[in-house]
Structure 1
Amino acid sequence: MVAEGFTVDLNAPLVFQVGHLGEAYEQWVHQPIVGKEGPRFFKSDFWEFLTRTVWWAIPVIWLPVVCWSVSQSVLMGRTFPQIAVMAASGIVIWTLLEYIIHRFLFHIKTKSYWGNTAHYLIHGCHHKHPMDGLRLVFPPAATAILCIPLWNLSKLLVAPSMAPALFGGGLLGYIVYDCTHYYLHHGQPSVDPARNLKRYHMNHHFRVQTLGFGITSSCWDWVFGTLPPPKS
């Protein structure tokens, strides 16, 4: 692919190439290559390994953390109804965070070398290779970093004895989000709402990439006016 005199070699590690595209990066990254073979990111086998995550690692790693977090609120004397409300609230908060992150961070426009490089790493690669099954969920290290502001937000919003349950609900929302995202790309749902949600997300990838930022739900797209128009 030639852009501003620079050719991206798809057979070579991509991460440190894409920055050279400059302003042409935005167009290049939104021209998807539909194939299950994922590109190589880094020459180093170690760094390459860190970019690849199987989908089932998400519930295996993070569900025990959810259980531990909720148990802390139990040990502090909170009742089941209180914990259920907090966990449900955490899930709702996550759906909003999911929308905000996807819309304003994952789809930020870049043109500098390091801006393009960073964007490709966090989300651009997904739009360029949407069927790459090992880069559809967050690597655990990235999720661990995300947990820090999520925990601090939980402490800010509710009492200390409720914060672990709220955080656990938010983390459970994230697990549902990442597993849903993988399923929307590689599953074949035959009934609604899953079938409709898959159509909605594929529309974001292949038709209107500047709208439809919800993954687990389209509710926040409706609230904030980013629903894609119906097909003509």
Structure 2
Amino acid sequence: MGHTFSEVALMVMFGICLWTLIETNTAHYLLHGIHHKHPTDGLRLVFPPAAAAILCFPFWNLIRLITTPTTTHGVFGGGLLGYVMYDCTHYYLHHGQPSSDPGRHLKKYHLNHHFRIQNKGFGITSTLWDHVFGTLPSTKTMEKKSS
């Protein structure tokens, strides 16, 4: 559509950022809530592909509403990439064994959200929106509750 690589990369990054915002949304919780009832059930960690495909239609229309015709595809693609990164990260945090300090920290952060501080720490791929919305658990709370 006549955009440079840098412009397309920027659109994709905006889409990923948009997804990280959606992953903290109440509507997302309603769709993902069953996982909170059964957080160790491996069959409930990722959204079923057929349902995800159906939800792509309203997500596409939302993106189309807030972007220009030439940027819609890039932003939508970034949102899908953000979703796939979220699903893979979320599954790994439950079933993987991170070997790096950042990975272990993210796993602890997410499991604290499930089992200790359910009203804080909603971000999976990023803590950005927890900072913005004031839902970042305090380090003191995380340490106290982990003990």
| TM-score greater than 0.5 by the shorter chain | yes
Which of 81, 92, 99 pairs up with 2:6? 81
Which of 113, 129, 133 pairs up with 2:38? 129
1:109-140 Cα shifts (integer Å, max 9, x gaps): xxxxxxxxxx6xx4343123211112110101
Cα separation, partners in 2 of 1:123 and 1:86, compared to 1, 3 Å: closer
Find the aligned partners of 2:47 and 2:63 in 1 and give their Cα distance: 21
Find the aligned partners of 1:140 and 1:123 in 2 and give their Cα distance: 14
2:54 paired with 1:150: no
Aligned residue-pair number:
141
Q: Is 2:22–2:28's contact at 8 Å kept on the other side of the alignment? A: no
- Report percent identity of matched pairs: 63
Cα separation, partners in 2 of 1:219 and 1:202, compared to 1, 3 Å: same
**What's the TM-score, normalizing by structure 1?**
0.57
RMSD of equivalent CA atoms: 1.6
Shift of 1:79: 1.8
Determine which structure has more spread, i.e. the larger CA radius of gyration: 1
2:18 paired with 1:96: no
Cα separation, partners in 2 of 1:136 and 1:163, compared to 1, 3 Å: same
Shift of 1:157: 2.2
Stretches of structure 2 that go unaligned for 5 or more consecutive residues are none
| 2:133 paired residue number | 224
Shift of 1:92: 0.6
Name the SS of the counterpart of 1:210 in structure 2: coil
Shift of 1:106: 5.1
Shift of 1:174: 0.3
More helix by share: 2
Which of 92, 109, 114 pairs up with 1:183? 92
1:20-78 Cα shifts (integer Å, max 9, x gaps): xxxxxxxxxxxxxxxxxxxxxxxxxxxxxxxxxxxxxxxxxxxxxxxxxxxxxxxx222
Shift of 1:171: 0.5
